[in-house]
Amino acid sequence: MANQDLLLVFDETVTRAGVDGWIRHLESAGAPTQMYRLGTSFVLPVSDVDAIQEAGSDLPAPTRQVPRGSDAWLGRRELRPTGTAVSLGPTTIGDGSVAVLAGPCAVETPEQMMATAAVVAKHGAVGLRGGVFKPRTSPHSFQGLQWDGLDLLVEARERTGLPFVTEVIEPEHVKRLAEVVDGFQIGARNMQNFALLTAVGQSGLPVVLKRGFGCTVEETLAAGEYLLLEGNDQVVLCERGIRTFEPSARFTLDLTAVALWKQRTHLPVMVDPSHSGGRPELVEPLSLAAIGAGADALLIDVHVEPQQALCDGNQALSPEQFAGLMGRLAPAAAGLGRHMGGGTSVRECSPT
C-alpha cells in the first residue's frame, strides 16, 4: 500500500513531543515528512502507508487519517469535519449562526462612519466593514482615506463594541494594520497576490478572502491554502460574484460555489450580496438565497446617504433598507434551523 498519500491529523490532545516522535519514526522508515499547524492541530502528510502501519504503540494514535487529495489539502473538510469557527473579536463566524457584517464600502468622513456604525449596530450586525485603502479600476476614483480612515474605524468600534475588518492591499501594511484591526479583508483583485496572502497569514489574525471575479472554486481554495500554510486557520472564504456574459447585474452571484465550499472545506463561507448584485433591490433576495445555500455570514454595504457616497453608493442600502433586510433574515434563518447572531454584544451608541 505504499505511495498512497495520507494526512495524519493530531488534535490538541496530542503534544508536540508526540508529533515529533512520529516525525522521527517516519524519517527512520525512509518516509520523511513536514509538520503543519492547523490552529491547535498538527498535520503530517505521509506518502508511505506501510510506515504508518509499522509505527510502535508508544506513538500517539492520529485523530484521523485523510487522503491528501487536491493541492489545497489543509483546507479539506475531512481534516475538521465539524468545521472551523473564526473568532473576529467577540464575534464568531462558522458556529451555525448567520453573522452579518455591515458598513460602508469606504470610510469617508467621521459623521458618515459613526452614523452608519450606529445604524448597523442597532439593527443586528455583529461586525463592521469599511475600507480605508480602496483599490479602484480608475486612478481618478476615490482611493480611500488611507491611514486617517483607520482611526475612524477604531472610534466606531469603541462606540458600538463591534469588531471590524478592513481591506489590506500591500504586504508592507500588514504589520501596522495588525496592531489595530480585528481582521483583514483581501479583495478580489488581490486574491492571487501571494506575497500579500503570506504576510496576512503570518499575522495570525482573521481573514476574509474574497474570490477573484475571474477565479474558479478550486483556485479560491488554493489561495486560502497560502493563509493556512502559515498556521492561520482563521480564514473566511467570501463569494462576491463572478464576471459572466450576463449584463443585468454588476456580477453573477455563484451560489454553486457556496454549496461546494461548504462540502469541500472546513472554512466558513461568507457572501457579499452587495457587490454581486450591484443594486439595493437585489441585496435581499441574494441574501436569502445565500443563507439557503449554507452561507455562514453576509457582508453588506450600508451608507446613511447612499446618493452621496464616494464609493459604490449605487449598491449600498439605506438605514431603512438595512433594517427591513435584517427583519426578514431572522425568520428565514429560523426556518432553516439557524439563528442570527455571531456571539457579540452591542452597546447603545449615538451616531455622533
pLDDT for residue 87 is more than 80: yes
Specify the residue for cell string 500500500.
1
Same domain as 57, residue 192: no
Cβ count within 10 A of residue 83 = 17
Same domain as 96, residue 60: no
Any idea what the CATH number is for the domain that residue 48 is in? 3.30.70.80
Contact by Cβ (8 Å): 233, 39:
yes
Average pLDDT, the chain: 92
Single-letter amino acid, residue 246: E
Strands, E assignment, 106-163: 127-129
Based on the structure, what is the number of domains in the chain?
A: 2
pLDDT for residue 144 is more than 90: no
Q: How confident is the model at residue 3 (pLDDT cuts 50, 70, 90)?
A: very low
Any idea what the CATH number is for the domain that residue 122 is in? 3.20.20.70
Task: Report yes or no on 259 lying in a domain.
Answer: yes
54-58, 152-156, 209-213, 334-338: lowest mean pLDDT where? 54-58
The C-alpha cell at 66 is 485523510
Same domain as 290, residue 171: yes
Task: Report yes or no on 219 lying in a domain.
Answer: yes
Per residue in 16-44, pLDDT (tens digit) is 999 999 999 999 988 888 999 998 999 99
Same domain as 302, residue 328: yes
Same domain as 153, residue 120: yes
- Strand pairing class (235-239; 207-210): parallel
Same domain as 120, residue 53: no
Same domain as 328, residue 241: yes
Same domain as 138, residue 60: no
Over range 37-66, report the average pLDDT: 89
Q: How confident is the model at residue 49 (pLDDT cuts 50, 70, 90)?
A: confident
Q: How far apart, in Å, do the first and last CA atoms of the chain sit?
A: 67
Per residue in 222-268, pLDDT (tens digit) is 999 999 999 999 999 999 999 999 999 999 999 999 999 999 999 99
Same domain as 129, residue 27: no
Task: Report yes or no on 322 lying in a domain.
Answer: yes
Q: Cβ contacts of residue 332 below 8 Å, gap of 6+?
A: 288, 291, 292
Same domain as 60, residue 150: no
Print the domain residue range for 22: 2-68
The strand pairing partners of 7, in sequence order, are 45, 66
The strand pairing partners of 83, in sequence order, are none
Task: Report yes or no on 25 lying in a domain.
Answer: yes
pLDDT for residue 201 is more than 90: yes
Task: Report yes or no on 280 lying in a domain.
Answer: yes
Q: How confident is the model at residue 5 (pLDDT cuts 50, 70, 90)?
A: confident
Contact by Cβ (8 Å): 259, 62:
no
The C-alpha cell at 74 is 489543509
Burial of residue 106 (CB within 10 Å: 0-12, 13-18, 19+) is buried
pLDDT for residue 341 is more than 60: yes
Same domain as 93, residue 223: yes
Same domain as 145, residue 175: yes
Q: How confident is the model at residue 158 (pLDDT cuts 50, 70, 90)?
A: very high
Task: Report yes or no on 351 lying in a domain.
Answer: no
Task: Report yes or no on 79 lying in a domain.
Answer: no
The C-alpha cell at 73 is 489539502
Per residue in 117-136, pLDDT (tens digit) is 999 999 999 999 999 998 87
